[in-house]
A and B are shown apart, each in its own frame.
Chain A
Amino acid sequence: RKEVEQDPGPFNVPEGATVAFNCTYSNSASQSFFWYRQDCRKEPKLLMSVYSSGNEDGRFTAQLNRASQYISLLIRDSKLSDSATYLCVVNILTGGGNKLTFGTGTQLKVEL
């Protein structure tokens, strides 16, 4: 089983739609969680951190469910510019320091 699993998509949605991505992780010792955005052939960039209480940043809402070991990202009123790959990232504190494990990403295509 992969440490971090995501549906690869692609998710093709019309502009203005609400879209949700889920991600599951296998290591219960995981300590912090993130969503990164990656545009085609570009470097990943932090979209938002994910907190147990849930957090919102404009049209983006992230949720964490530790009991079920999954993380979600909700995008409301999607824009053409939201088209990208969204990477779920889990941080585990190990003896060698913190280790980030990346999911393979979910591709989103927002269309007119």
Chain B
Amino acid sequence: EAQVTQNPRYLITVTGKKLTVTCSQNMNHEYMSWYRQDPGLGLRQIYYSMNVEVTDKGDVPEGYKVSRKEKRNFPLILESPSPNQTSLYFCASSPRSRLAGYEQYFGPGTRLTVT
């Protein structure tokens, strides 16, 4: 089944404790992206990757890191989480195809709470 998976789905952590949220897709998509969703603010892009070893900042990259060592995986790293990073996080992937209209396929989301 074609899908984007994220782990963990739920995480409660404390300020300053490094964490990684994994994202994996099995559709051979080149493009992957991380978003956070907050009430009243909608989905905001954190980082994106056009291909292996190619990453770039989105609209809200502060406090986050990413890596793209393999095509299928795009982990999101919070080196020192803070309470303002409490949010719902989505990973997404997309074929780089104009014909496909750049449709993005989303993972199920990770609900992170930082206390």
Contact = CB atoms under 8 A, between A and B. Distances in A.
Contact of A41 (B35, B44, B102, B109): B109
Nearest to B43: A102
Interface in B26-65: 31, 33, 35, 40-45, 48, 50, 56
A42 B108 contact: yes
A96 B50 contact: yes
B74 interface: no
Contact of A104 (B40, B50, B101, B107): B40
Contact of A87 (B43, B88, B111): B43
A104 B41 contact: yes
Interface residues of A, number: 21
B42 A43 contact: no
A104 B35 CA distance: 13
Chain A residues touching B, majority SS: strand
A100 B45 contact: yes
A24 B105 CA distance: 23
Contacts of A41: 88, 109, 111
B9 to A, nearest CB: 11
Interface stretch (A11-19, A44-52, A63-71, A76-84): A44-52
Interface in A54-112: 87, 91, 96-100, 102-105
Contacts of A87: 42-43
Interface of B: 31, 33, 35, 40-45, 48, 50, 56, 88, 90, 96, 101-104, 106-109, 111
15 contacts: A34-B101, A34-B103, A41-B109, A42-B108, A42-B109, A46-B103, A46-B104, A49-B103, A87-B42, A87-B43, A99-B45, A100-B104, A102-B44, A104-B40, A104-B41
Given A96-B48, A98-B102, 4 more contacts: A43-B107, A96-B56, A100-B104, A103-B42
